[in-house]
Amino acid sequence: MSSQPVAVVGIGQTHHKSKRRDVSITGLVREAAQRALEDANMDWGDIDAVVLGKAPDLFEGVMKPEMYLADALGANGKPMFRVHTAGSVGGSTGIVGSQLVESGRHKRVLSVAFEKQSEGNAQFALGGGKSGSIGAGGAFAPFIRAYIRRSGAPEDIGWKVAVKDRLNGAKNPYAHLKLADITIEKVKESPMMWDPLHFLESCPSSDGACAVVFTDEEGGKAASKPPAWVLATSMRSEPGWFAGRDAVDPQAAHDCSADIYKQVGITNPREQIDCAELYVPFSWYEPMWLEAHDIAAPGEGWKMTDSGATALDGDFPVNMSGGVLSSNPIGASGLLRFSEAALQVRGLAGDHQVGGAKLALAQAYGANAQFFAMWAVGSSLDPLG
Amino acid sequence: MTDTSYDMEPFHLQFPFTRSLGSTMSTFFSALAEGQIIGVRIGDRVVAPPMEYDPETGADAGSEWVKVGPKGTVGTWTWVPEPTRLHPVQEPFAFAFITLDGADTPILHAVKASEDQLAAGLRVEAQFKTGDDVNGRIDDIVFVPASDPSPSEGAGEAYTAPAEPEVQMMDAFCDLVYVDNFAPATREWAAALMQGRLFGRRCPKCDRMIIGANPMCSVDGIFLGDGAVVELEGTGVVSNFTVITPTPYPGQKETEPFVRCSIMIDGADAVIGQQEIVGVPASEVRVGMRVAIEWAPEGERNVDDLGNGNHGATAGAVRGWRPTGEPDEPAENYVERMM
């Protein structure tokens, strides 16, 4: 397959809130897209193709929103793609956009992902419109219980992640939650929502969108601001339920990151990767993904959290942006992870910048912890060289 | 295996979605509530209803509002001989593209007229709801043949919008009725539940047990026929659980924290998920607890909430699983088995 370098030259996101009552869905996606175009020093006419991602249509009750959003995103007369891979969709939307440039088919591609949760109700939508929806928290809480039992991790690990990500979010001007005064005590005392998960260990419901502009090597080198180079992309999936499935440590998670490491030449992720944005909608998923993506050895992920290694000033910062725990416009959440990784290697992450970040990893997962989308981005095409 | 047919009850998917309109549509609907239809000038065209962006280029449309209508001209139409309860007009009517006076683009709307009146070029005018019937929605108007075909007064003039348009939100009630017709494997599972039986299918390749309305081995991707069916015991051990604090939403009946368990069935390498526990409070459920199934009495069982792809769902036929009081199962017998 012919393959050419891909550069991220524009990133935009909305200010995420529980209710963005000041904009329509159209206005929401355009806000992110316009910021990405400005960042790329481009206009609508410069874009060759548009990719749109979001979670299930029942979240807003708008069927096939890509149809009516096509011209709102400047796609009139251009190719338009809709991507859907549950919670990992934001990541997949970035990957599809990137691959349209990588393949040589298009020169400049805009990927946009969004969710406007305030127009509907996520628990209703996840329950298929019926009573007794267990929601995402109810689906993942048993996996988390199993991880705690398996790893022997102390109970405060989840609380520590909840505090760390919210303190990072307080540094991010776009984050929904800015809880600068959060404490372990507050997390521990917050209501139990999905035993063993407390309210403050859970992501918020947000309205928000994210957009990324991709271009080729020539465009990346000519960009007015530093680009992020897409070093590797990968997606993996597995059935959500089968006898003996290890949903705590899914094979697809290992396979997805192994594919990324192979493409980039990473042999020691903990040492060689400067920082990571992992999809952590519930606090315990930080140590779980550190292990499932082979950044930590089995049973050792929680020790990275415990020691402060994953803090903004640690040796392996995770979720510098505040992560999903600080903003969760579901469909956009994956692209926000991918974007933060790119902002880090561009040196444009502001108060949540990791000094000298050259190689960053981003991940999104979805459905019953069964879909995975990941990428690695670098400040150059050969950050390990 | 018995294949019992069920007449599936239609499911009403209902939800009161809400739209935040944003400044352009707020301005449009607020004007409509005042009896004025408007468009927006984009380049040398007046687009009505107004849009937030130039549909040709994606550029911002701005806010140069223009009065249009209330009369206009039908460009083309389609006749709706049998309106449903969700249509805007409850008698035979037409959906038409109407170019309002002062506008360069058509609006799609309903025209109340007889079928033989409809023609390209028909002059129509908006009829506005009044008083308490006004909602600031697109169905505040309906079009009828114009009594006087002369041009609308004031069409094309500038419209000055209030700083804070009154209509900011719109209800969008979803009312979708559908029947989830059962696949053959779902019918078999439903029939078993109605008879008070649980069964699984054992994959001859990987030896995994698949429980519920699933005729496939998800791992090997092979069909598991009647020969693979294994009857299962109604006893087991809680291998994992969570207690869910229900969030209220329209249609939610749960009001108190409720439990959902994974139960490893005795005598089979099989776990059934999303099960309820009865007989003890949610706070007393623990991993390792031994439980037995409690079927709803015959005649009270139903499979209304069952759907294709719900795998081991038992709702409607099973009350839940009741702790037996036996000593807890040793962890090595079930640990790591949430599926």
Distance of CA B282 to the CA centre of its chain: 30
* CA dihedral of residues A168, A169, A170, A173 (deg, nearest 10): 120
Q: How far apart are CA A296 and CA A270, in angstroms?
A: 7
The total domain count for chain B is 2
**Core vs surface per residue B90-106: b (16+ CB within 10 A) or e:** eeebbbbbbbbbbbbbb
Bridge partners of B260, per DSSP, are: B242
Say whether pTM exceeds 0.90.
Answer: yes
Q: Which helix (H) or strand (E) element contains residue A360? A: strand A359-366
Please check whether residues B240 and B284 belong to one and the same domain.
yes
* A384 in reach of chain B (CB within 8 A): no
Would you say residue A274 has pLDDT above 50?
A: yes
Cis peptide before A196 (omega within 30 of 0): yes
At A165, give phi and psi (nearest 5°).
Answer: -65, -35
The reported pLDDT for the residue numbered A113 is 98
Q: What is the mean pLDDT of residues A205-227?
A: 98
Q: Structural domain boundaries of chain A?
A: 6-120+206-222
Under the phi-then-psi rule, with left for phi > 0, alpha for psi from -120 to 50, and beta for the rest, what region is B239? alpha
Please check whether residues B203 and B63 belong to one and the same domain.
no
At B325, give phi and psi (nearest 5°).
Answer: 85, -5
Q: A183 is written with which tokens?
A: 């404490």
User: Percent of chain A having pLDDT more than 70?
Assistant: 99
* B260 in reach of chain A (CB within 8 A): yes
Class of domain A6-120+206-222: alpha beta
Contact flag B18-A72 (C-beta cutoff 8 Å):
no
At A111, give phi and psi (nearest 5°).
Answer: -105, 130
Which residues are CB-neighbours of A50 under 8 A, at least 6 positions away? Answer: A70, A73, A74, A75, A78, A79, A80, A81, A109, A110, A111, A112
Q: How far apart are CA B339 and CA B333, in angstroms?
A: 14
Q: What is the mean pLDDT of residues B294-304?
A: 93
**Residue B169, SS3?**
strand
What ipTM describes this predicted complex?
Answer: 0.93
Would you say residue B2 has pLDDT above 60?
A: no
CA angle B41, B46, B51 (to 5 degrees): 70
CA angle A271, A275, A280 (to 5 degrees): 120
**Residue B339, domain member (yes or no):** no
**Residue B15, domain member (yes or no):** no
Instruction: Give the model's confidence band at A15: pLDDT under 50 very low, under 70 low, under 90 confident, else very high.
Output: very high
Determine the residue type at B247: T
Q: How far apart are CA A168 and CA A312, in angstroms?
A: 7
Report pLDDT digits (tens) over A332-378.
999 999 999 999 999 999 999 999 999 999 999 999 999 999 999 99
Chain A positions in Cβ-Cβ contact with residue B23 (cut-off 8 Å): 22, 27
Please check whether residues B107 and B203 belong to one and the same domain.
no
Please check whether residues B138 and B33 belong to one and the same domain.
yes
Q: Could you tell me the residue range of the domain that residue B141 belongs to?
A: 22-167
Q: B105 is written with which tokens?
A: 């683009």
| Residue whose structure tokens are 């415990």 | A306
At A74, give phi and psi (nearest 5°).
Answer: 70, 20
Q: B50 is written with which tokens?
A: 């107004």
Q: Identify which of B27, B28, B68 has the alpha carbon closest to the alpha carbon of residue B45.
A: B68
Q: How far apart are CA B163 and CA B306, in angstroms?
A: 52
**Residue B7, domain member (yes or no):** no
Distance of CA A68 to the CA centre of its chain: 25
DSSP B286: -
**Residue B138, domain member (yes or no):** yes
Q: How far apart are CA B32 and CA B133, in angstroms?
A: 13
* A41 in reach of chain B (CB within 8 A): no
* A19 in reach of chain B (CB within 8 A): yes
Determine the residue type at B317: A
Please check whether residues B127 and B39 belong to one and the same domain.
yes
The reported pLDDT for the residue numbered B5 is 56
Please check whether residues B225 and B310 belong to one and the same domain.
yes
Alpha helices in chain B, H assignment, sequence order: 22-33, 184-195
Please check whether residues B326 and B217 belong to one and the same domain.
yes
Q: Which of A26, A76, A128 is the closest to B56 by Cβ?
A: A76
Q: What is the mean pLDDT of residues A121-129?
A: 88
**Residue B174, domain member (yes or no):** no
Under the phi-then-psi rule, with left for phi > 0, alpha for psi from -120 to 50, and beta for the rest, what region is B60? beta
Q: How far apart are CA B73 and CA B99, in angstroms?
A: 5
Please check whether residues B307 and B204 belong to one and the same domain.
yes
At A234, give phi and psi (nearest 5°).
Answer: -160, 145
Please check whether residues B111 and B193 belong to one and the same domain.
no
* B4 in reach of chain A (CB within 8 A): no
Q: Which helix (H) or strand (E) element contains residue A126? A: helix A122-126
Whether A214 and A377 have beta carbons less than 8 Å apart is answered as no
- Please state whether beta strands A359-366 and A275-277 pair in parallel, antiparallel, or not at all (unpaired): parallel
Q: Which of B21, B58, B339 is the closest to A241 by Cβ?
A: B339
Q: Which of A24, A137, A138 is the closest to B20 by Cβ?
A: A24
**Core vs surface per residue B250-284: b (16+ CB within 10 A) or e:** ebbeeeebbbbbbbbbbebebbbbbbbbeeeebee
* Cα–Cα distances in angstroms (integers) from residue B265 to residues A76, A254, B225, B336, in the given order: 56, 29, 21, 14
Q: Identify which of A248, A316, A303 has the alpha carbon closest to the alpha carbon of residue A277.
A: A316
Please check whether residues B45 and B154 belong to one and the same domain.
yes
Name the average pLDDT for chain A.
96
**Residue B116, domain member (yes or no):** yes
Would you say residue A83 has pLDDT above 50?
A: yes
* A299 in reach of chain B (CB within 8 A): no
Determine the residue type at A103: S
Please check whether residues B248 and B312 belong to one and the same domain.
yes
Q: Which helix (H) or strand (E) element contains residue B314? A: none
Rg (CA), chain A: 19
Q: How far apart are CA B71 and CA B150, in angstroms?
A: 9
The reported pLDDT for the residue numbered B226 is 86
Would you say residue B310 has pLDDT above 80?
A: no
Q: B48 is written with which tokens?
A: 């009505």
Report pLDDT digits (tens) over B128-173.
999 999 999 999 999 999 999 999 999 999 999 999 999 999 999 9
Bridge partners of A60, per DSSP, are: none
Please check whether residues B220 and B103 belong to one and the same domain.
no
Contact flag B243-A150 (C-beta cutoff 8 Å):
no
Chain B positions in Cβ-Cβ contact with residue A25 (cut-off 8 Å): 19
Q: How far apart are CA A247 and CA A371, in angstroms?
A: 11
The reported pLDDT for the residue numbered B1 is 43
**Residue B323, domain member (yes or no):** yes
**Residue B251, domain member (yes or no):** yes
Instruction: Give the model's confidence band at A88: pLDDT under 50 very low, under 70 low, under 90 confident, else very high.
Output: very high
Shortest Cα distance from A71 to chain B (angstroms)?
5
